[in-house]
Structure 1
Amino acid sequence: MSTVRPARDPRTSIAPSIAPSALDRLTQTVREEIALLAYPDRPWVAPAAGPDGGTALDVLIVGAGQSGLLTAAALKREGVVRTHLVDAAPPGLEGPWLSFARMHELRSPKVTVGSEFGLPNLGLRRWFEARHGRAAWEAVQRVPRTDWAAYLAWYRAVWDLSVENGTQVEDIRPAGALLAVACRSGAGLRTRYARLVVLATGSDGAGGWRVPAVVADGLPASRYDHANGPIDLARLAGRRVGVLGHGASAFDAGVAALEAGAASVDLCFRRARLPRVNPHRAIETAGMMTHYPSLPDSLRWRIARHFRAVDQPPARHSFERATAMPGFRLHCAAPWLAVGMEGDAIRVEIPDATLRFDHVIAATGQAVDLAARPELRSLHPRVARWGDRYAPPPGEADARLAQLPYLGPAFEFLPRDPGADDWVRRVHAFSSASTVSHGPHATSIAGHRHALPRLVRGLTRTLFLAQADHILPELRAYSEPDLSIPDDFEDTHGRAPRH
């Protein structure tokens, strides 16, 4: 194995060093700038009554992580005010940043923009400098994960966005011109009615995190975890830990286990060598991220297959930190062929060797399975998939990609059967489900600047066209005076002079 450079010591967070008043002043400045750019500023979507007698939402957003918050803020800027955010997580734990994400720093470059809508003071840099000072921004290479979570919390407060936490969406179905969304919380099951729904459900929006059968079938549930879920790290102190996978979550889980006192971590993956190149960086251009869905199906399919074949390496800081830690071992070309118990130890068979652990962590990503998503209970059999709309040439088939939804230009689902179930178009999948149709941009911090306007333009277009029949009558009925003069002005001043 090649020589590994010593790891930097990335910080999980940077302690604020500037007086809180600096952040308070920034907050006030941003709100003033938002107000200055708010023309036209009046709501324009006509209210609609729901079957329950209440006013229906214009847009219900499922998920209050970075994608959900940005969507809600963008709609607010566009005069769409009857929006609502729901999230299954407790307050403060929306998204992965303070739950299962374990990297010390973000993978995205710190200069990435997209959340600020052209207002630099709303962006990450100005927030970071107000909280930590300009010198800290210049010194940091990538933003600590916990600071990104704190930035999103501030962003939500700036826009005054409320979130209904602890709420799981269990189904979406048609209700006339509206959508009925079944929401379960601690208070029970409630149906909310909305014109449109956005699924900002993140990296597992097309299925869920699943432990491979070779592990799940061979071990008691208490002896394994998935890297993208809760892990009781304290239980791993003094234990031998096996990690299956080669991506960022695999290395981050290994680091977290060793930091918690694990005796050793053996990271195994089937590839002969780790990926070196991140293909996502190649498509981070304004042209690609803005116009990706305009590419022909054959090219979008081949790009997605390239990502699958090449994959992306673990983040550099995660790799360097892991490989510099005592007790960390890397096993390439080492798929787990068989897993089972041997007394109180876990026995893992890899080609040409047998490994023994006390606990294992599967860092194996998500399974694509629309039927596994509770919010897609009624939707999944009715929406078009790539396998329904595109037949790849010989040698280019991919069963996983074929199961992803074939989405429209604004991330909307399309009916599997043309002419039927047209209501599915009112649900927009701004999540990993859009990977083939729109590229890996809906869940990417770098992609939001270009992908989000496409989503929002599609939402507002649908809302606008739905009330097209009212435009002319409302225009004719419009009577707000722009010029204040007496009604009889023309009678006294409008006659031509006599000679």
Structure 2
Amino acid sequence: MTDPTTPTPAGLPALEARLRQDLSWLELPARPWTMPRTHDGHDVLDVAVIGGGMAGLAASATLAHLGIRVRAFDRAPAGFEGPWATTARMETLRSPKQLTGPALGLPALTFRAWFEAQFGEAAWQALDKIPRLQWMDYLRWYRQVLDLDIRNEHRVERIVPRADGLVSLSMQSPDGPLTVLARRVVLATGRDGLGGAYVPPLAEALPCHLWAHSSDEMDYATLRGKRVGVVGAGASAMDSAATALEAGAASVELLVRRQDIPRVNKSKGAGNPGLTHGHYGLPDAWKWRLRNYINTEQVPPPRGSTLRVSRHANAHFNLGAALESVEVRGDVLHIGTPRGTFELDFLIFSTGFRIDLETRAEFAAFAPQIRYWRDRYVPPAGQEDRELSDSPDLGESFEFQEKTPGVCPGLSRIHCFCYPAALSHGTISGDIPAISDGARRLGQGIAALLYQEDVELHYAALQAFAEPEVFGDEWTPALPPAQRTALA
């Protein structure tokens, strides 16, 4: 029975009306102000965003609100951008529910506002963590309510920065091959967007039907009745193990290199507005030291994800079980570790991602010319870190920089707004807590660059501006004093 004292949720139409009013009060989006360009009779975009997931949405919304002509492209079907409804397997997000995420400072655009509009405040208070698929529903609404221009099922095959101030994008679309020209390109391509899944070298010799990476799209029902091994102890390892167990795996062996599973999320302890806004200006040694410490300590798996595994009696946590060898006998994997040999039918590597632009065909035209942190900084002994060394050395608007100045004109017109920006800018381009701060930094930086490039045109437009505010009928010119005296 419904409690008559409980307020009825206002519903999404009321929230959307509130958001429209907020945007109107703030005069958003700004009026278009950039100088239109064409090339060979075709319009040139101000900014093309590659990726329509959370980062791509936040970047697109910010740029549009700044009056910049922006269009995003994503390879996934509409509503399936990012990992949330495809390769992610957690039950809930690990981020606290109250974080405002990509809301860009607009209360009516937050997940909480969206949730309460449908289910009420009492349901919000009762909610522990945000269900993963509900977060995807919220992002779908975010795109719709802001009317963002995102073209789905467009797969970018080649990005070429040019000396004439344009960047060329070659892609496959539902209508066939397509070339798009833009003045700036934003790569909002996610955790693996500048490389791909990492697996240990010994995996390369294994038959492909006997293993997968945790980020692969895969039907876990095929693991029913099988002995499964999961390499790793992070969030994706727990999610993969739990999904396999829930799909009916005969057993799951978690093979954990460390002697213990990390307990403390150091990145959570580092999160504050000072770091969000101050990381970019830190000396190189401090940037490296902070990120290396967090990497070394590692982020623990969420408690809920770990309990989701351990509630199964056929789940086994093997600590100190680093992979030493793998032998294939028929369709059985014999995994050698310091804890003994495990006989398995399938192996899932939850071993993260590697930054490696040169392995991606779409970046071939410029990847060798990028300046990476390995070209900029040599860490002290004991702080060596492959991920940090491979990270691109980015400018203040997330733009790539040339390793050798002048060799790759136009490279700085490509902006890296995804996880590999973390060493240069901090974690403001891929994770929920500070994604709005990152999007605003990106958008404001690109707006400044677009204006500076066209300052002569803007000055000419200023000179030509002729909208009168005073029409000459507001006063009567005074007579000279002598004439006024004579008429007195």
| Same fold, judged at TM 0.5 (above) | yes
TM-score range with shorter-chain normalisation? over 0.9
1:187-266 alignment, distance < 5 Å: 187-217=175-205, 219-266=206-253
1:79 to 44, 67, 81: 67
Residue 40 (structure 1) shift: 7.9
Q: List per-residue Cα deviations over 1:15-39 (Å, max 9, x = no partner).
A: xx99997112111221221122116
Question: Which amino acid letter does the alignment assign opposite residue 397 of structure 2?
Answer: A
Question: Which amino acid letter does the alignment assign opposite residue 404 of structure 2?
Answer: D
- State the distance in 2 between where 1:244 and 1:352 align: 14
Q: List per-residue Cα deviations over 1:149-201 (Å, max 9, x = no partner).
A: 11111110111013211212222213311111112234332210001010001
Residue 494 (structure 1) shift: 5.0
Q: Which residue does the alignment assign to 1:412?
A: 399
1:482 to 463, 469, 477: 469
Q: Which residue does the alignment assign to 1:55?
A: 43
- State the distance in 2 between where 1:375 and 1:294 align: 31
Q: Residues 290 and 264 of structure 1: is their aligned pair in 2 closer, same or farther, counting only changes over 3 Å?
A: same
Q: Which residue does the alignment assign to 1:391?
A: 378
2:167 to 168, 174, 179: 179
Contact 1:206-1:404 within 8 A present in 2 as well? no
Q: Are residues 1:382 and 2:364 paired?
A: no
1:419-430 alignment, distance < 5 Å: 419-430=406-417
Question: Which amino acid letter does the alignment assign opposite residue 108 of structure 2?
Answer: N
Identity across matched positions, percent: 38
- State the distance in 1 between where 2:411 and 2:161 align: 8
- State the distance in 2 between where 1:103 and 1:132 align: 22
- State the distance in 1 between where 2:113 and 2:450 align: 34
Q: Which residue does the alignment assign to 1:461?
A: 448
Contact 2:9-2:116 within 8 A present in 1 as well? no
- State the distance in 2 between where 1:171 and 1:237 align: 40
- State the distance in 2 between where 1:83 and 1:368 align: 27
Q: Which residue does the alignment assign to 2:427?
A: 440
- State the distance in 1 between where 2:38 and 2:8 align: 48
- State the distance in 1 between where 2:436 and 2:30 align: 22
Question: Which amino acid letter does the alignment assign opposite residue 283 of structure 2?
Answer: P
Deviates further, 468-477 or 429-438: 468-477
- State the distance in 2 between where 1:40 and 1:259 align: 46
- State the distance in 2 between where 1:344 and 1:372 align: 30
1:33-44 alignment, distance < 5 Å: 33-38=22-27, 41-44=30-33
Question: Which amino acid letter does the alignment assign opposite residue 165 of structure 2?
Answer: A
- State the distance in 2 between where 1:337 and 1:123 align: 47
Q: List per-residue Cα deviations over 1:381-410 (Å, max 9, x = no partner).
A: 111000111122333333332121111111
Residue 268 (structure 1) shift: 0.6
Residue 70 (structure 1) shift: 0.7
1:236-315 alignment, distance < 5 Å: 236-315=223-302
Q: Are residues 1:498 and 2:484 paired?
A: yes
Contact 1:286-1:450 within 8 A present in 2 as well? no
- State the distance in 2 between where 1:94 and 1:19 align: 32
1:154 to 117, 141, 144: 141
- State the distance in 2 between where 1:305 and 1:193 align: 38
Q: Are residues 1:316 and 2:314 paired?
A: no
Q: Residues 18 and 172 of structure 1: is their aligned pair in 2 closer, same or farther, counting only changes over 3 Å?
A: farther
Query: For 2:427, what is the secondary structure of its paired residue?
Result: coil
Deviates further, 378-387 or 36-45: 36-45
1:46 to 28, 32, 35: 35
- State the distance in 2 between where 1:215 and 1:471 align: 57
Q: Please list every run of 5 or more consecutive structure 1 residues that lacks an aligned counterpart in the other structure.
A: 1-16
Question: Which amino acid letter does the alignment assign opposite residue 21 of structure 2?
Answer: E
- State the distance in 1 between where 2:47 and 2:316 align: 49
TM-score under structure 1 length normalisation:
0.91
Q: Which residue does the alignment assign to 2:53?
A: 65
- State the distance in 2 between where 1:249 and 1:421 align: 38
- State the distance in 1 between where 2:19 and 2:43 align: 31
Query: For 1:204, what is the secondary structure of its paired residue?
Result: coil
Q: List per-residue Cα deviations over 1:271-304 (Å, max 9, x = no partner).
A: 1111111111122101101121101011111112
Question: Which amino acid letter does the alignment assign opposite residue 309 of structure 2?
Answer: A
Q: Which residue does the alignment assign to 1:25?
A: 14
Question: Which amino acid letter does the alignment assign opposite residue 424 of structure 2?
Answer: S
Aligned length: 477
Deviates further, 134-143 or 207-216: 207-216
Contact 2:231-2:349 within 8 A present in 1 as well? yes
Question: Which amino acid letter does the alignment assign opposite residue 157 of structure 2?
Answer: E
Deviates further, 447-456 or 274-283: 447-456
1:94-133 alignment, distance < 5 Å: 94-133=81-120
Contact 1:348-1:355 within 8 A present in 2 as well? yes
Question: Which amino acid letter does the alignment assign opposite residue 95 of structure 2?
Answer: S
1:362 to 329, 340, 349: 349
Q: Residues 177 and 494 of structure 1: is their aligned pair in 2 closer, same or farther, counting only changes over 3 Å?
A: farther
Q: Are residues 1:93 and 2:113 paired?
A: no
- State the distance in 2 between where 1:409 and 1:282 align: 25
Supply the RMSD in Å over aligned alpha carbons.
1.9
Residue 482 (structure 1) shift: 1.2
Q: Residues 185 and 259 of structure 1: is their aligned pair in 2 closer, same or farther, counting only changes over 3 Å?
A: same
Query: For 1:55, what is the secondary structure of its paired residue?
Result: strand
Residue 232 (structure 1) shift: 1.3
